[in-house]
Amino acid sequence: MSSFDSMFDYLKLSLIDVQNATNHFADENIVRRDGFGYEYKGQLLLSSGQLIDILARRLDDIYEQGIKEFQTEIMMLASLKHQNVVSIVGFCNEDKEKIIINKYEARGSLDQYLSDPVTLTWTQRLHICLGIARALSYIHYDQGRTFSVIHRDIKSSKIVLDDKWEAKLSGFELSTMQPAARRHGLVLDLPCGTPGYVDLAYAESATVNHKSDVYSLGVVLFEVLTGRKAHSFSDDKSLFAKTAKSHYENGNLDDIIHPDLQKQMDQGSLKNFSDAAYCCLKDQRSQRPNIDQLVFALDQALKLQLAHEASVRPFLSLFSLFVVITYIYL
């Protein structure tokens, strides 16, 4: 048994249990394929007798880099406990199989809902973005913890939603850890992540810090605002961020905001949100907000939106009553 397996022995699950949980990795249980393998939904019977919904991420053995990422994700999820971070159930490292098992989140990933302003309203989107910002604030630095984490692969498909639409950050396989005392410094490392979301300063300098996560979250914020996925915008993966910045700077952001979302928005909420999203995409890392500043800005945007909805609700109720009375007497 390796030292890694010994350290995390309490999380080990047998291959037979995982196979039974996923109906032997049946095609109909596949949720998605990513750069490292397949994700399967299933139901796992715990030793306590409880049956829970799971998501089993099965690494494809053709990816040599998968072993490092496999161990990194387990270490991170075993160490990080937050309401906006996915919960690890266990892992399987048996018969050349490498599988990470997380709690299954019923609504799937954020990217599936970007273009749907009915299922995912502006208020819900604000709440989701705030949740992910809080998750980043936690992993970047939590008082009393000796290490700091940089995620390095923030994107809408890594944000999963539970049955109450609460956001959970997932996908820690590319993350890196540094001592908390040095959390403001740069880490020298080869660029990784997803084109279109990767901090351009990271790609150019091969150095990364927490502001690189802020940049990636800024891309997600504009996805949420426009209702479009960054990678579906153009063959040039960096064009989405450039276009969003250009429209903001030229004062014609309305041209790219999803029109049905725009009808729901309080203008103050929109301004707070778009200002924050734009600042995340600044070329110079020093000009980007830190994650706690971003949490504050998104919290303010949500409060303004909720206040707006509370103010128009009485009017809507009276209007609905008027419609009903009119209908009765027609």
What residues act catalytically? 153
Q: Is the dihedral of CA 229, 234, 239, 243 positive or negative?
A: negative
Sort strands 207-208 and 187-188 into parallel, antiparallel or unpaired. antiparallel
| Token code pair at residue 279 | 């600042």
CA distance 289 to 282: 9
Distance between the two ends of the chain, CA-based, in angstroms?
Answer: 80
CA distance 139 to 86: 12
- Phi then psi for 166, rounded to 5 degrees? -80, 135
- Phi then psi for 124, rounded to 5 degrees? -65, -40
Judge whether 39 and 57 are in contact, CB under 8 Å: yes
| Token code pair at residue 277 | 């999203």
Helical spans, DSSP H, in the chain = 3-7, 15-21, 66-79, 122-140, 200-205, 210-226, 239-249, 259-262, 267-280, 291-329
* Residue owning tokens 């109909």: 28
